[in-house]
Chains A and B, each alone.
Chain A
């Protein structure tokens, strides 16, 4: 390791006060300036911050955006989500391979450019898309690929490539991104006009308990997917013992097909930050953390500036809005490419500078969260709703929506429809109406809530979005009759196999077995009994997994067996009695036949 790199590492550790819990910031900074965190670098970091080397290595090996071996100066990360594939991502991948003369997974011989795949980057409404380091390149075409590669070969700084500017704040000089918001339907809560600060000013006229009560009365439930009542979560966190408490905003948004938090952060950052501040006041926290997924790093500088503006306006910092004894500030924690970090306890691990492993509960974060202190983790949209509840009142909010689900839900709609983008509906909106608004035709299936949610068929399109019917974190992917649905299911299973943290055997090994069996079925080597096997194994995985990932990962298969059984049955052939159709003797003998240069005399064609 060169002197220069040692110097950089020491400086980075110094800048982070050699704080072990800030290991993510340390290794992300080193990855960015040096291009990798080598074995020697790990030793030095461990020495500097006083931990074991293996602790550093466990972090580097866990996150997709960190690497031990050097990558190219630019990492081109192609989104290989199913929606991107529907929109031609395979063709884009080929174009990149052709222009660069390398395959996905390789680095050009001059060490300049690495090409790799990455799961959903939150750009499904402008797919196919890719990341060029932190720069997002949406709506890719073969022409654009050529221009991008030519540009990068001249200068490896991707921000110099002209990709155009998107709508709204995407065109702000601090964002400078070609990403579009595509806000198509504005509702009364999130995308209505509001004046920054009103909700917060209202909050501080109340006691913290009154704020908690107000959120309880509003019937607000978490927007991140699980739908836990927000007021109750705050009540627990407020009541928990702790000299320090924390608010965390979950902006990890990794569920394939979800991109609404990206748009909320771009346009409604004030609602988000204000909601966090109100939460801080309500539970008695002085510090908030916005956990921003690595894929959205392009928003970071912009958001930092917005935080500064709020500090200058006395909405953050010491004595918020002049209120004695109420100090609250927010810092941004960057993720580094791990879907599991959206799970709240894994997110906390990540903030603490650890691998993004979920923690065993109880204790719940409300009792023992970030740095072992009581912590409330809430979704971006949840915080937006909170701000509006304080501004307009609990009753105003609970009157919107359906009986058991108050307020509105922001949906990210993508896939086979004319108008992919962001839609805000009052809870209770019916799938068929939503599909009409989105311009979806010949719809075969809708994936509600992402792969961890459910695939529904047209006979269910009269169902509605709400907690008692179709609960969703906001992802809605439309598949028309052209889609090979079971192929898509296989891709989503691959996603879960990749993203499992590996702690629980049912999740780590079970998902592999599910995907393998589905593969046999797709190859025409399945039998009807396989469906019972898949349901049984899927049930075990759901029951025996520690966190929400394993508890939902079999859903793509289970919900298609339930709602699209004929697709499976069509692939089943009559199989030989007593034999395992999945076993392919010709394939198993292929290697030996090649090596021996003769054909099997037992198993002739």
Chain B
């Protein structure tokens, strides 16, 4: 049997959670001994090559493409993990949830104090995915199996969680790793 496969995605996130994953430093060598990376920005594989054991999701859903992507992950991964506050709560992008989408776009492209847009164009190319009415946490869109909180969760947290999962052991996170102030 080959190595289990892992896939990752950044939806409406800042890539900070992925950076944190890279922060495991030389342990990444151990990680690739344990798993193969499938669809992920880390190896730039764009399409699932088959079924994966674990999917790590950074960021919530702000547009239709995020939703589509997340559903693809759910379909291909046995275990789906929401990584970081954006995936779990919507995070910073969800700050727009308090206002209607139209107001939000107007502020960003027309009325904001630093906007220079003499033609008053709000980007709407059909290549651009349509925005959702608000930013949704991942578990509002698909079933999520585990949550790793933090902004981002530290490299150690991600490492411990993955190792525990891959070895089928209970996850024991020391206090320092789940303390956020």
Contact = CB atoms under 8 A, between A and B. Distances in A.
Interface in B78-128: 100-102, 105, 122, 124, 126
Given A592-B101, A602-B68, A579 B74 contact: yes
Nearest to B145: A578
A589 to B, nearest CB: 5
A596 B132 CA distance: 12
A524 to B, nearest CB: 17
A578 B142 contact: yes
Interface residues of B, number: 26
A602 B133 contact: no
B133 A580 contact: no
Contacts of A597: 124
A294 B141 CA distance: 45
Contacts of A587: 133
Contact of B141 (A580, A589, A600): A580
B136 A588 contact: yes
Contacts of B139: 580
B124 A598 contact: yes
A588 B66 CA distance: 12
Contacts of B140: 580, 582-583
B129 interface: yes
A207 to B, nearest CB: 61
B143 A589 contact: no
Nearest to A582: B140
Contacts of B64: 585, 589, 600, 602-603
A602 B71 CA distance: 12
A582 B122 CA distance: 31
Contacts of B131: 591-592
A77 B36 CA distance: 66
A585 B143 contact: no
B75 interface: yes
B141 A579 contact: yes
Most buried by B among A580, A592, A602: A592
A64 to B, nearest CB: 25
Interface string A568-605: 00000000001110110101111111011110111100
Contact of B130 (A580, A582, A583, A600): A600
Interface of B: 64-65, 67-68, 71, 74-75, 100-102, 105, 122, 124, 126, 129-134, 136, 139-143
Given A595-B122, A596-B130, 10 more contacts: A578-B143, A580-B141, A583-B141, A588-B132, A589-B64, A590-B133, A595-B105, A598-B124, A601-B126, A602-B64
Instruction: Rank and list the top 3 A-B pairs by shortest CB-CB distance, nearest first.
Output: A592-B130, A588-B132, A591-B101
7 contacts: A579-B74, A579-B141, A580-B139, A588-B67, A589-B64, A589-B130, A595-B124
